[in-house]
Amino acid sequence: MKRVNTILVIILFAIVAGCVADSVISKKKSTDFIVVDVTKTNYPQKELILQDFMDVEYIPLETGREFLCQRRVLAIGKDMIIIANDRDDGDIFIFDRNGKGLRKINRRGQGPEEYLTISAFVLDEDNNEIIIRDITSRKILVYDLNGKFKRNIGNEENNMIFAMRNFDREHLICHNNDRRRIGENSHFIISKQTGNIVRNIKLHFKNAINPSILGIQRSASVRPLPPLPMAYPMLYNYQGNFIILEPSSDTVFMYSPDHKMKPVTVRTPSIHSMDPKIHLFPSTITEQYYFMGCFNETQKNVITTNFMYDKQAGTMFKYVVYNDDYSNKEISMNPIFVTGNNNETAFSVAIDAFDLVEAYKENKLKGKLKEIA
């Protein structure tokens, strides 16, 4: 039986730069957003080396009887990394940034201070708290870093939160996935103390669309993970700001801590004019590249187009990203998936120890990754 020891690969953000115009993507003189034609798919392919445009950090997690965990990255903070198992057994493993195991907590159960599932998770290092959204029991539970229950901030206003991020010391920014709230705001800011909505984030669109993407295949890691309902986040961190998207809107926005919002990407044709619909999901942004993907509702569980915009070349490409610490080209990283990110971390990939050892035995590794193996 294979063990589930995990190596965590952390890939850090580069600095975002401006955009360049071409026939497919245009830059308005008075704005910084880009326009993407989602019907164009015949882009040339470009091979990228991960280390050429991102800083890569490998953190081997401590293993032992108490710290034997799987690959689900819940949070990456300044001082700690929090991991859970793919199976939702309630275990939460807390490591420091060097991979040393600090503690394991588990408050799974059906009591008022317990959760059944970890649907969304926030590490609040400013307040030494963790916040868990349990969509099964419609609770938002707050614990200290030792797992001691502090309060329940779930209520009717926020009972369908699907994604939440740390906004500031007193607030969370959230995305509500309840498509029955036709015409209402799907993004808002809530109090960490009461759960009450303190600000709605208004996105303008003609009418609400209920996307039929029921399971997006997440293949960011070496070993593909099972598809999850609406696995792509509608809200994620970006260098102190927040990228927010709504399937009903043709525009993806960047929301700043001072509550200002500017467009990042505008799609064409409009989502409201398409049948079947093609959804555009922007992802990782670096100094040179803007990664994104399209999902066609007629082809569920599959990324129909996975592409990027090269700001220096001013053109679109399909892409493959290779890790230079592998001597062959069998292992690739996919920055369309944003997992375990914070203001400094673009995305993370968990590599199982047995996969790493197998690659080592086959002489496929070099550099730091070979040392770890």
Per domain, the residue ranges of the chain are: 6-372
How far is Cα 368 from Cα 370, in angstroms, rounded to an integer?
Answer: 5
Position 2 scores a pLDDT of 46
Buried b (16+ CB within 10 A) or exposed e, 60-73: bbbbeeebbbbbbb
205's tokens: 């669109």
Q: Any idea which fold 6-372 has?
A: Methylamine Dehydrogenase; Chain H (2.130.10)
Q: Cβ-count burial of 213 within 10 angstroms (0-12 exposed, 13-18 middle, 19+ buried)?
A: buried
Nearest to 129 by CA among 159, 92, 100, 184: 92
- CA 313 → CA 10, 21, 235, 279, 317, distances in Å? 27, 9, 28, 25, 10
How far is Cα 371 from Cα 373, in angstroms, rounded to an integer?
Answer: 6
Give the predicted TM-score (pTM) of the model. Answer: 0.85
Position 200 scores a pLDDT of 92
Q: For 287-334, how does the pLDDT look when each residue is reduced to its tens digit (9 = 90+)? A: 888 888 888 877 654 556 788 999 888 888 988 888 899 988 766 666
110's tokens: 């059906």
What residues in the chain have per-residue pLDDT under 50? 1-4, 13-31, 213-231, 301
Position 10 scores a pLDDT of 55
Position 212 scores a pLDDT of 53
How far is Cα 71 from Cα 179, in angstroms, rounded to an integer?
Answer: 30
246's tokens: 């709504």
How far is Cα 18 from Cα 311, in angstroms, rounded to an integer?
Answer: 7
